[in-house]
Each structure stands twice: as C-alpha cells, then as structure tokens.
Amino acid sequence: MRPRKPCKFCVEKGLKIDYKDTNLLRGFLTENGKIWGSRTTGICAGHQRILTTAIHRARMMALLPFTLR
C-alpha cells in the first residue's frame, strides 16, 4: 500500500475553498460532473465536506453545471 497524499488545503494554508472559485472546484469534478472521492483526491475529511458544500452552492448559483455532458 502507498501512503496517503497530504491534504492540499492543509499543506497550503493560504488556499481557501470558496464557491465562487470555479477553477479550483472544477479540478475536483469528473468529466461527467460528479465529485471525486477523498481517497482519489487526497483531501482530508474535513476539507472534503467543505469542498462538497462549496460545489453544491456553486451549482445552485449556476456557476457550475450539474452535469458536464
């Protein structure tokens, strides 16, 4: 087994998760628009919850589409 990747947001303290930052949020979506899991992205559970909430808010504000097809 390989060791887990360190959380991107824990390592870089200045990096904030915001629903208006669509370029950051698109990096955590699959080509179909689903949210990648924390095992795949290497994000800790706390930041994964914040990221999921930000993606949901961006979708409701029409900044991100629900599906990318």
Residue 19 has pLDDT above 90, yes or no: yes
Residue 69 has pLDDT above 80, yes or no: no
Is residue 66 domain-resident?
no
Is residue 38 domain-resident?
yes
Per-residue pLDDT tens digits for 25-34: 999 999 999 9
Residues 10-30, mean pLDDT to the nearest whole number: 94
Count of beta carbons in the 10 Å neighbourhood of residue 25: 21
Distance, in Å, from the CA atom of 34 to the CA atom of 32, rounded to the nearest integer, reads 6
Is residue 3 domain-resident?
no
As a whole number, the mean pLDDT across the chain is 92
Is residue 68 domain-resident?
no
Per-residue pLDDT tens digits for 40-56: 999 999 999 999 999 99
- Number of domains forming the structure of the chain: 1
CATH number of the structural domain spanning residue 52: 4.10.640.10
Distance, in Å, from the CA atom of 61 to the CA atom of 59, rounded to the nearest integer, reads 5
Which uninterrupted H or E stretch holds 2? none
